[in-house]
Amino acid sequence: MIMKLFPQNVSHVRRSLGGNSFNNQIPREFGALQNLTTLAIHFNLLNGGIPEELGNMSNLEILYLNENHLSGHIPQQLGNLTQLQDLDLHTNNFVGELPPSFMKLVNLLYFLVQGNSLSGKIPTFIANWTQLNTLDLLGNNFEGPLPKEISSLESLVYLALSNVVTRGSAYDFPDLSRMTSLQDLTLRKCSLGGPIPGYIWELKKLQNLFLRENKLNGLLPGWLTKRKNVKPHRYVDVSENLFKLTTSEFNASSDDLDVLLALRNGLSISGTIFQGAQFSLTYADDELFINCGGKEVTVNGNHYSADQNPNGSSTFSRDEKGGWGYSSMGLTKSLDKRPESLIIKDTCNLSNTAALLVETARVAPISLKYYGFCFSNGNYTIKLYFTEIGLSKKQAFCITPTRRFDIDIQRKNVRKNYNIEAEEANDDGDKIVEYNTSIKSHLEIHLYWSGNGSVIYSQNYGPLISAISVTKVRVPPPPKHHPKLSPTLKAVIAVSSLFFLALLLLLLRKLGYLGGKRSSKEELKATELFPGGVYTFRQIKDATQNFNVVNKLGEGGFGPVYKGLLPDGTTIAVKQLSGKSKQGIREFVNEIGTISALQHPNLVKLMGCCAEDNELLLIYEYMENNSLDHALFGPEEIKSRLNWSTRVKIILGIAKGLTYLHEESKLKIIHRDIKPTNILLDKELNAKITDFGYAKLNEGEHTHVITRIAGTTGYMAPEYAMRGYLTSKADVYSFGVVTLEIVSGRNSASCRPSDQTVYLLDSAYVLQEQGNLMDLVDPKLGTDYSWTEANSILELAMMCTNPSPTLRPTMSEVVKVIEGKTKIKTTSSTVQRSTDEIALTKAMAALSQPSPSESYSTAGPSEATPPLSNSNNITNEI
C-alpha cells in the first residue's frame, strides 16, 4: 500500500507519510530508493521489524520511524547509512542492544530512541557522534554507568537518560564539564550517588535540570532557596534524593529528611519535606476512601473524601482532617506560565452514583504519591480505580497516545507499565487494581512514569488515578486452644476419611453412575449425606446463570469450566464432566477421592461436588488470574505482569506442590498431567496445581507398569508414554518442560514439525550442547533478571527432562535448588546425552505432537472434546 505512493517513473528525494494510519509492515522495496534523502513514516500503526534493506538507502539523511508498533532488534544494516543526520525511533517496541555498526554514523545530529525496551551497556561509540545535538535514551533498560567517553560531546544540547539497570552500588555523577552547550539535562533514576558537581550550577545555557529518584546527597546551592536569585525560565527537579537542608531554609522539623524540591520559572518554591515527618493524630483509621480530583461522594455506603486541590506539579497537599495527603512531583515541558491544574474531568454527563468515582481524576507529570498517616496495624485490601479520560487523538496525526506508569504500594512494585486503556474492566465496567498489604501506621501508594508510553507533548501523559479505597481485612477471632491430636484421634480421623470416600462411591452407585438405577427419593437424599460438601444441580445452575457462555472460563478434556457466584458472595469455578461416559465418571470419582484428602497452599481447593441425573460437577475455589497457559500465551497485558521474580515464584510454587504430592502427604500421589493449563494462578499470581482426574497413588518406591496411559502429549516422560513405566519422576519430567516454557515464554506444544521449526525441548538440547542455554530466556524480560538464577533454573529444567528417570532430581531437591539452599550437581551424565537418548526423546516428541486440530481419546466414547490449549489429552487403554 505504501509503495503505491512511490511511482517508479519518479525520482524521489524527500517523502513524508506521517499520520496516515498505515497498519502494515515497512516494505523491503524501500531499499531500492537510492536517491531518497528523507523518509518520514512516523505516527502510523506500522508493525513488524525494520527491514534490513533500508540499509541500502545510502543517501538517506533523515529517518523518522517513531510512534509506531515496530518491534524486534534494530538491524545492523542501518549502520551503513553514513549520511544520516536525524534518526528517530522513539515510542516503539524495539529490544536488544544498539548495533555496533552505529559507530559509523558520524554525521548524526539527533538520535532519539526513548520509550522502547533496549538493553545492554550504553555504547562508548556514541562519542564518535561529535556533532550530536540531541541524545534521548529515556525509558529503556540500559545498564549503567553513562560512559565517560560521552563527555567529549561538546555540541550536545539535550541529554536524557532514565531507568538505568544497576549491577552494584551507586554510580558517580558523570563528568559533563565539557558540555558547555547543554540546555536540558535529564538523569532520572540512574542510581547516581554523591554530591552534584559544582560546575553543573555554572553551566550558563542550562535551562532544565531533572535529577529526581537518585541517591545524590550533600548540600544544594544557596540560590535554590532564595526566590529572587532564581534564574528566569529555569527548571530544577532534584526530588527524592538524599540532600540535607537546614531548618531555617524550609522550616522543616529535621535537617536529615529526604528533600522534594522543584522550582518553576522562579515564581515560587513549591518543594516540600515530607519523608519521615511526624504527624500526631489522636485516632487510628482502619479505612480510607478518596475521590481523586473530585468532590465528596458516598458510594455503596462508603464516604469518599474530596480531593480538589487545583495546584499543579511539585506540590504537597494534606486533607483538612489530617488523615491523608498527596505529593505531585515533576515538571511539564510547557513554558506556559499559566497555573497548572492537574485535575481532569470527563465531559460525559454521568448520572450513576458509582460512576462519580471515575468522573474525575488526578494526574501528575511524573510522580504521584498518596499517603495515609495513621492506620491501625493489620492487613488491608487496597483498590485503585482507574479510567482513561485524559487522552484524546492527536488531530494532526490521527493516533491515540498511550499512558503507561508503574504502581508501587508500600514501596513494593505491584504493576509495571500499567496501561489503563489496555486493562480489562470488571463486571461493573470498572478498571481496578486490587492488592492486599500489611500496614503499620503509615500507607504509601506511588504512581510514577518510568519513561514508557508516549513522550510528553503539550498534554500530560503521566500517572493518573480516579479513586482509592482502603479497607481492613476482618479476621475472625482465633479458635480456642486445643491439645495436640493423640494417635487414637488421628486414627479415627483417617478412618472417617475413608468412610467418607466409601459413602461417596456408594452414592454414585445408587444414583446409577457405577451400575444400577437411581430413584427420585435417592436423588433427594444427595444433599443430606454430605451437608456443606454436596451442592444441588439447581444451586450450581443458578450460580452460573444456567451455565451461561459468558461465565465460561475454558474447555477441558472432559468438559467446560464455568465461573459461578454463590448466594453468600463466594466466587467458585465449576468443572462440568460427562455423566454419560465411563471416562468422565472415572475422573469424577478419582478427583474427589484424591484431592479431598490433600490440603496445601499450592494445590487448588476442592469445595464440593454435585451428582444429579447425568450431571457430574466439581466445585473449586476461583482463581482470579486463570491458568498459567493463559498468562504465558494469552493477552499481552497479562504477559507484562510476568516479570522475572514472578516467574520464579510460579516455578517454585509448582515445585512445592509436587513435593507435597510426592513426598509430604500421607497419600503419595503422582499427578500424571502437569502442564500450563493445569496450573492456576490466584490474584497474587501464586501457582496452584489442579485437575487430579489422572492422578494415581504411588504405592511405595517401586516402578509401576501402567496399562492405562493418561496425560497430555508433549509433557509425558518418554519411559511412561512409550513403555508404561510410571514413577514420580514422570511428574518431574513434565515439570521440566513447563519450566522451560515459563523461562522462555514459548509454548512447547504449539510447535509443529516442518523444515524450519523445531520443538522447544529440541532447541534446549541444541543450545545446551553449544553452551548457549541462556539464549532461551524470554527476550521480553530484557535485562531485568538475574543471569545466575536464570542459568541455574534452565540447567535444572534440563536435568528434569533427562531421558533417563534415574538421572532426574526429586522435587524436594528441585525446591532446594530454586531456593538457593543447594547447587545443581552437574555431571557428564546429566549434561551430555548419548545419541540414543536424544533420538529417543526426539522420537517421543514427534510421536506426541499431533496437528492443532487433532484431539483424541481411545479409552472413552468416540467423540473427542477439545482441550484448553493446543496440547492434547491422551488416554490409551492397552
Active site residues: 673
The three-class DSSP label of residue 52 is helix
One-letter amino acid for residue 45 of the chain = L
Alpha-carbon dihedral angle through residues 123, 125, 131, 135, given to the nearest 10 degrees: -10
SS3 of residue 385 by DSSP: strand
DSSP-assigned beta bridge partners for residue 70: 48
CB 101 within 8 A of CB 81: no
Give residues with Cβ within 8 angstroms of 778, minimum separation 6: 743, 744, 745, 746
d(CA 43, CA 761): 40
CB burial string 418-453: b at 16+ within 10 A, e below: bbbeeeeeeeeebbbbebebebeeebebbbbbbbbb
Q: Tally the C-alpha atoms within 13 A of residue 300's C-alpha that lie toward its C-beta.
A: 5
Residues 735 and 801: their CA atoms lie apart, in Å, by: 8
CA 549 to chain centre: 28
Task: Give the Cα separation of 34 and 795 in Å (integer).
Answer: 49
Instruction: Say if strands 552-556 and 559-565 run parallel, antiparallel, or are unpaired.
Output: antiparallel
Helices and strands: H and E segment counts in the chain: 16, 47
Kindly report each contact of residues 511-515 with a partner whose C-beta sits within 8 Å and lies 24 or more positions away, as own/partner.
Answer: 511/611, 511/612, 513/579, 513/585, 513/588, 513/611, 513/616, 514/585, 514/589
Cβ 526 vs Cβ 536: under 8 Å? yes
For residues 58 and 62, what is the distance between their CA atoms, to the nearest angstrom? 11
Give the Cα separation of 35 and 377 in Å (integer): 70
Question: Using alpha carbons only, what angle is made at residue 841 by residues 874 and 779, rounded to the nearest 5 degrees?
Answer: 90
Planar angle of CA 126, 128, 131, nearest 5 degrees? 95
The CA distance from 512 to 528, in Å, is 18
The gap between the terminal CA atoms of the chain, to the nearest Å, is 58
Give how far Cα 850 sits from Cα of 316, 426, 510, 854, Å.
Answer: 62, 37, 40, 6
